[in-house]
Structures are given as C-alpha cells and as structure tokens.
Amino acid sequence: MRPNPRGDRRPRRIGLLGGSFNPAHQGHRHVALAVRRALRLDEVWLLVSPGNPLKPRAGMAPLAARLASARRIADGRRIVATAIEARLGTRYTRDTLRALARHFPRARFVFVIGADNLAQLPRWQGWTRLVARTPVAVLPRPGWTRRALAGRAAKRLARHRRRPAALLAGSAPAHAPWCFVPAAEHPASATAIRAALGPAAG
C-alpha cells in the first residue's frame, strides 16, 4: 500500500529510508528488515528521492526507473517504496520530514541512515534541527561505521544516544534521540552495480 500524499491519522511507527536508489538493491532491503525488527516498526518506507542535492545528476536514472527498482525489493505492506517526496514537492530531508509530520500527525517517524550518512550529516542543510525533531536510527555500512561513530555528528549528539529498544519508548523528549542498530554489514553497493552494468546503466 503506497502512502497517500494527503496523509492520514493512523497511529503507526514508520521508518524512513531515503536515497537515490540508483538502483535499489538487496542491501537496502537488508537495512529495512534489520531496522524494522530492531525498532519494532509497523512499516519502513523507501523514500525514492527526486534528486539528491549532494549527488551529481550524471548517471542518475529517471525517477520512474529508480522507483520501479525500489518496488522490486519491497513487499508493498511492511516495506513500501514511494516517491512521495516528488508529490510533496520537497527536495531537502528537513522539509520532507516537516511535511510528513503535518500530513501524518499520529505517526511516529524514525529517519533511517547508514553510517556513511551519519559521517556526512554536517553537510546537510539544517541537520541539527532535523535530528532534534526526528529520531534517527543508524546502521552499519562497510568502511564507514567506526569513522562515523567517532565523527562530528556522533560526538555532538552523544548525550542523545539511546539503545534501539529505547528509541521510541515513552513520550517524545525535547530533543529527539538517536541509536546505532547493530546489524551485519551488507556488501551491496549501487555504485558497484552501475559499474558492473556498464554504460547501459547510465
């Protein structure tokens, strides 16, 4: 079932795994399954970005193709692929999260990122406000995990770190918490997949 961009008032715990999905792969599915299990989420939405401001446009497949690849790894029920950002007209994550909170006022959202994005978080527009308002779950990423947990964002947010089981416990605090979800590192990489496919992938 695809999220209605007009929203609804159902109480749910929803993980938001955003990205280009250029293309989506089993590593994305692995992350979605791991975070849903660890945080006892009702759903994980694969937010297929209309365009990542930090990524070059060269080699980026059309949105429809990337959404189709995300739907192939989703089940349409617990893991749902959506291009709701394009429908909401948002480009930056902070704006997407604000819009979703308005449209789904009874949902509890968790922003799901890999360790590579935790390391790069200080480059994002309005990142401190983003993590103050929305709980964040970080998952391991090959070559990034140790560096990210010792990086600027992790140090700045150290006092807000919680165990995964406590991330959504109780009422929402003044500053949203974050957690690191222990999970096996999945080797799949969209960059490697495109390289293997050659020029036809661009």
- Give the DSSP letter string of 24-57: --HHHHHHHHHHHHHHT-SEEEEEE-S--TTS-S
The reported pLDDT for the residue numbered 55 is 67
Q: Is the pLDDT of residue 41 over 50?
A: yes
Tokens 């293309």 correspond to: 23
Buried b (16+ CB within 10 A) or exposed e, 16-50: bbbbbbbbbbebbbbbbebbbebbebebbbbbbbb
Residue 47 region, left (φ>0) first, then alpha (ψ -120 to 50), else beta? beta
- CA–CA separation, 145 vs 35, rounded Å? 16
Q: Hey, what are 180's tokens?
A: 């690191």
φ, ψ (nearest 5 deg) of residue 48: -80, 115
Q: In what order do the strands lie in the sheet with 108-114?
A: 79-82, 43-48, 13-19, 108-114, 136-139, 178-180, 161-162
For residue 13, list its beta bridge partners.
Answer: 108
CA distances (Å), 65 to each of 69, 99, 105, 153, 186, in order?
6, 25, 31, 33, 23
pLDDT band at 162 (very low <50, low <70, confident <90, very high): very high
Q: Hey, what are 94's tokens?
A: 């902070």
- CA–CA separation, 197 vs 82, rounded Å? 25
Superfamily classification of domain 13-201: HUPs (3.40.50.620)
Looking at per-residue confidence, does 200 or 79 come out higher? 79
pTM: 0.91
Q: Is the dihedral of CA 28, 184, 100, 51 positive or negative?
A: negative
- CA–CA separation, 101 vs 109, rounded Å? 8
The reported pLDDT for the residue numbered 54 is 61
**Once rounded to an integer, what is the mean pLDDT over residues 85-100?**
93
Domain residue ranges in the chain: 13-201
Q: Is the pLDDT of residue 26 over 70?
A: yes
Looking at per-residue confidence, does 6 or 98 come out higher? 98
